Structure 1
Amino acid sequence: MKINVVGTSGSGKSTFARRLAQQLNLPYIQLDALYWRANWQGTPDEVFMEKIRQQLAAQPQGWVLDGNYNRTRPVKWREVECVVWLDYGFTRTFWQAVRRAATRAWRKTELWPGTGNRESFRQSFFSRDSILLWTLKTWRSNRVRYLADMQNPAWSHIRFVHLRSPAESEAFLKSLTEQRAAS
């Protein structure tokens, strides 16, 4: 199975995608880890796309891919079978983003091994590059885009799973466990 988990920053994509990958016994691939280099430098698009191609090709039995990066859709959605969209309400998503940013800044957690990239309170709460501002800017546009994608004939080969709450997400994971037990 080839799955892409998408949603606005703070929606819980990474946590959900890791759980899903573990449950399905599939490799977990995080787009942020492929994109971000040391000192918060992004990877040029041509290199980024090639990294994605290589990661996906190295797992022909399937994978769970975590991340949006809309410009990567022609690569990541070429063979994807299912897109799981975590579409929680704005208040919940923003609160989760605030809590995550504060926790990471407090703990000084390195986000992607080997990059040295860590969130700080200044960066998260008082910067133009704030993940919180990104969440504010993209929540609505992501909803519009993914709703349109679900209707787009170019993506008719994809099964979209639209999860609107943590309870729906838990029920989805539980249903997968039950399906695996039955087969």
Structure 2
Amino acid sequence: MKNIGKRIMVIGSPGSGKSTFSRKLSEITGIPLIHLDKEFWNDGWVETPKDQWLEIQKSLIEGDEWIIDGNYGGTIDIRLEKADTVICFELSRLVCLFSYFKRVITNLNRVRPDMPEGCNEKLDFEFMKYIWEFPKKSGKRNKDRIEGNRNKQIIIFKNRRESNKYINNIKTIYKSNC
């Protein structure tokens, strides 16, 4: 296992475990965590205007260390330019949909830690459709972009066992370095 980088992108389907993984990785490494959903959405699920979003993205990557959790395909190249590591979750659509349902049930009408105030969890059928279509649409575009960057460390998880094993290995490495 290679050493983890200092500028890490975590991408993949909604419901795949990106946010949970990113939080654990940040806790172990001490690398600051940025949830793109928390930066993009405003109170009441209002989107940040595109020009402002581009500027926010550029400022987010200025730091020497970060873990950025989220896709946002329209701005992925901004993050990809500075990232040294890309972690991509490619879990099955059924697993991701099941996780989404579980998340909705657990957090219904509450704000998750990776979301801004005023964006309460809700059941969203359009979002379910997005999750179902993600592997063939957004996921494929994202994968095509990252595969063209051979100078990056690219880590792909096909299931939660792989991501959990990775987290446990990182934990062991960081404990032995203390």
Matched with 2:111 is 110
Matched with 1:169 is 163
Q: What's the TM-score once normalised by structure 1's chain length?
A: 0.84
**Separation in 2 of the partners of 1:104 and 1:7?**
21
RMSD across aligned positions (CA)? 1.8
**Separation in 1 of the partners of 2:77 and 2:160?**
29
Tell me the matched-pair count: 170
Matched with 1:139 is 135
The structure with the greater share of residues assigned to helix is 1
Shift of 1:68: 0.3
**Separation in 2 of the partners of 1:181 and 1:99?**
32
The 5 A counterparts of 1:1-183 are: 1-57=6-62, 59-60=63-64, 62-105=65-108, 108-111=109-112, 112-114=115-117, 116-120=118-122, 124-125=123-124, 127=125, 130-152=126-148, 155-183=149-177
**Separation in 2 of the partners of 1:118 and 1:150?**
32
**Separation in 2 of the partners of 1:149 and 1:53?**
18
Report the identity percentage: 21
Shift of 1:182: 4.1
Structure 1 unaligned segments of length 5 or more: list them.
Answer: none
Runs (4+) of structure 1 exceeding 4 A deviation are none
Structure 2 unaligned segments of length 5 or more: list them.
Answer: 1-5
- The one-character-per-residue Cα deviations of 1:111-130 (angstroms, maximum 9, x if unpaired) are 4333x12133xxx25x5xx3
